[in-house]
Structure 1
Amino acid sequence: MSAVSLQQVLEALVDPVRRGVVYQLTRAGEDLSCGTFDAPVSPSTLTHHFNVLREAGVIRQYYVGATKMNTLRGQELEERFPGLLSSVVAASVTERETERS
């Protein structure tokens, strides 16, 4: 995490699909497999978004058998950039609620 820059994290979180991934991981409160995400993109495009999030230090991916799992690096991000992730998630919740009304 020490090599991750604020610029990298912000660029990763600027995309609405990637914010959606972060939002879903936050709401789930547990690790999720790649196939369980609700995203308006193809599986190959979603893979690209996972890669961007992983390279920016926002998520960690690991395998359980043949299933690729995703975990939010919330505590590590909070230590590196205090308040950033919680602010982005809160804004995403507000944005989703506004879109639904």
Structure 2
Amino acid sequence: MDRMPEDIPHPSLDEIRIERVLHALADPIRLHLVRELARLDTGVACGSIDLPITKSTRTHHLRTLREAGVVTIHPAGTSRITTLRRADLDTLYPGLLDGILNAPH
């Protein structure tokens, strides 16, 4: 895994596996987070997307998405900015993310 500032590990492109991506996106809360990140089309502070969950549960979901290669998380001052890895996912699995994001919910 590549190391980011503050030693936040992210899988490199060749380490991202479809099984982990699909598992990460199968959870309704994580899918909501990904849909919001795609809609905003920019990195956001971890707590800026409104969710009916505790901070520790949010951290768990974000870690699952990061470890699967769906998002990157970078420190910015006292915040952590989460960004969707759309280009990487589109390169590895063309059409997958669009299909998931456009599915009825």
TM-score normalized by the length of structure 1: 0.89
1:52-67 residue pairs with structure 2 within 5 A?
52-67=64-79
Decide which of 57, 60, 69 is 1:48's aligned counterpart: 60
Two-structure CA RMSD over aligned residues (Å)? 0.7
SS of structure 2 residue aligned to 1:2: helix
Of the two structures, which has the highest relative contact order with CA contacts closer than 8 Å and spacing of 6 or more?
Answer: 1
Deviation at 1:71, TM superposition (A): 0.4
Q: Which TM-score applies when normalising by structure 2?
A: 0.86
Deviation at 1:68, TM superposition (A): 0.4
Q: Distance in 1 between matches of 2:51 and 2:99?
A: 21
Find the aligned partners of 1:55 and 1:29 in 2 and give their Cα distance: 20
SS where residue 52 of structure 2 aligns? Answer: coil
SS at match of 1:44: helix
Moved over 4 A (4+): none
- Indicate which of 80, 86, 89 corresponds to 1:68: 80
SS of 1:30's equivalent?
Answer: coil
Structure 1 alignment gaps of length 5 or more? 96-101
- Is the aligned partner of 1:32 residue 2:56? no
- Equivalenced residues, count: 93
